[in-house]
Amino acid sequence: MSQRTKFVLDEEHTPRAWYNIVADLPAPPPPSLHPGTGQPLGPDDLAPLFPMALILQEVSTDRYLEIPDPIRDAYQLYRPSPMYRAHRLEKALDTPAHIYYKYEGVSPGGSHKPNTAFAQAWFNKNEGVTRLATETGAGQWGTSLAIAGALYGLEVKVYMVRASYDQKPYRRMLMEVYGSEVVASPSATTEYGRQVLAVTPDSPGSLGMAISEAVEDAVKRDDTKYSLGSVLNHVLLHQTVIGQEAIEQMEMAGEEPDVVIACAGGGSNFAGMAFPWLGRKLRGEGDYRLVAVESEAAPSLTRGIYAYDFGDTARLTPMVKMHTLGHDFIPEPIHAGGLRYHGMAPLVSFTKELGLVDAVAVHQNPSFEAGVAFARTEGILPAPESNHAIRVAIDEALAAREEGTPRVILFNLSGHGHFDLSAYDRYLAGALEDYEYPEEKVRAALARLPVV
């Protein structure tokens, strides 16, 4: 072999525990608040939505939480995921930088989402739950929970944002192959959905609306719990298998990163890669920058305010302290559907507020430009969300070339783009829009934040 390209861990190296960043933070994160009373939430408040094991994970301060065997067994389908050195991309960029990427697209869902879908489904099953309700935007999360439901024998109902439901029939079909029920949101199957439809019969929906529907579904049925694909502490926790593996793989490569990059929509992909590295840094075991890359269409970390807000449009969820653009702000219809959330995970927001992580926002066209360059050199077609991270990785590599200094760059390639080809087609045809930041719309939405 002339050069080492791939860093593979055998299945015995699948992490045995999830890593909890809370244990290493210099201060405790702000509590979640009850949507009605405004008081800090207790475990019982969340019991209608989640099984107790996940509620306890949500508030845990332990550094490590053991991964049960049935979940590690399912992880074996694709974990440990590979890490690659991007030799061909480096050469095309003529950069002295070393670029590494961790690839989560090898999962059966095609993204990092099964890391938490498998865990959530199993913990629900283990407490006797037989049905899960959830929402999905671009469809990566819905697909992953559909697979998890099939593997563990749970019914799954997916409220899919109407715009995606219409534009991405293949994602809908995929969930149905796995046996899930999929409806377009807003739907006539919930009270909230019917309210929205009464006012706007042709509503394209939004992630916030779909969350409201799924929460209502779960609260109203005894056999059903709610499942969320990002934002919450336990979801971020499950994703930390990514960063833990990457730390081992960078050791195999014999290098230490100067910068660790991941895209951030709700925040779980970023946290999954960055938090294990951040913990190491906080414990004095390494030093590097951690960069969250969001979309210019939903720039909560770079343009939002840090405040208590709801996770959904109907104000049914707990209030969490996060960077937000307002719970009823609806981002422009960019193709990176996973980066169209109005808020950011409270733990990611808190680390940003503490100055522990950086954030940058990227427009559609430069992100797709980076994605096409990546596909043509590295061979893998990235998800539109991942293209945001690639853009910043390439910019870092170009800066290293300018400065004539080496730099070690690690980014998370969170998924493949096999279901996003019409977006690539539109990019190649020059038909993608880079939307202006909607300052007025955000200001109006922020004026409707809850008073805490």
Site residues (vs a second copy, CB under 8 A): 1-6, 8, 10-12, 14, 69-70, 72-74, 76-77, 84, 87-88, 106, 108, 110, 147, 150-151, 169-170, 173-174, 176-179, 372, 375-381, 418-419, 421-422, 424-425, 428
Q: How far is the CB of 414 from a second copy (least distance, A)?
A: 16
Q: Which is nearest to 209 in space by CA: 55, 314, 336?
A: 314
Exposed, middle or buried, 355 (CB in 10 Å: 0-12/13-18/19+)?
A: exposed
Q: Which is nearer to a second copy, 69 or 223 (CB)?
A: 69
Contacts of 151 (CB under 8 A, 6+ apart): 74, 118, 121
Q: How far is the CB of 121 from a second copy (least distance, A)?
A: 11
| Interatomic CA distance for residues 301 and 292, integer angstroms | 9
Q: Are 385 and 230 in contact (CB under 8 A)?
A: no
| Strands of the sheet with 6-7, listed across from one edge | 6-7, 83-85, 98-103, 408-413, 259-263, 289-295, 358-362
Q: Which is nearer to a second copy, 3 or 37 (CB)?
A: 3
Q: How far is the CB of 5 from a second copy (least distance, A)?
A: 4
Q: How far is the CB of 64 from a second copy (least distance, A)?
A: 18
Q: How far is the CB of 19 from a second copy (least distance, A)?
A: 19
Q: How far is the CB of 195 from a second copy (least distance, A)?
A: 31
Q: Which is nearest to 374 in space by CA: 86, 83, 82, 100?
A: 86
Contacts of 324 (CB under 8 A, 6+ apart): 300, 304, 305, 307, 309, 342, 343, 344, 446, 449
Q: Which is nearest to 114 in space by CA: 106, 125, 102?
A: 106
What element of type H or E holds 408?
Answer: strand 408-413
Determine the residue type at 297. Answer: A
Q: How far is the CB of 428 from a second copy (least distance, A)?
A: 6
Q: Which is nearer to a second copy, 150 or 219 (CB)?
A: 150
Q: Which is nearer to a second copy, 84 or 310 (CB)?
A: 84
Planar angle of CA 175, 181, 187, nearest 5 degrees: 115
Q: How far is the CB of 82 from a second copy (least distance, A)?
A: 8
Q: Which is nearer to a second copy, 72 or 315 (CB)?
A: 72
Q: How far is the CB of 376 from a second copy (least distance, A)?
A: 4
Q: Which is nearer to a second copy, 67 or 347 (CB)?
A: 67
Q: Which is nearer to a second copy, 176 or 403 (CB)?
A: 176
Q: Which is nearer to a second copy, 100 or 178 (CB)?
A: 178
What the block records as the tokens of 104 is 């989560």
Q: Are 221 and 132 in contact (CB under 8 A)?
A: no
| Interatomic CA distance for residues 319 and 112, integer angstroms | 26
Q: Which is nearer to a second copy, 70 or 286 (CB)?
A: 70
What letter would DSSP give residue 337? G
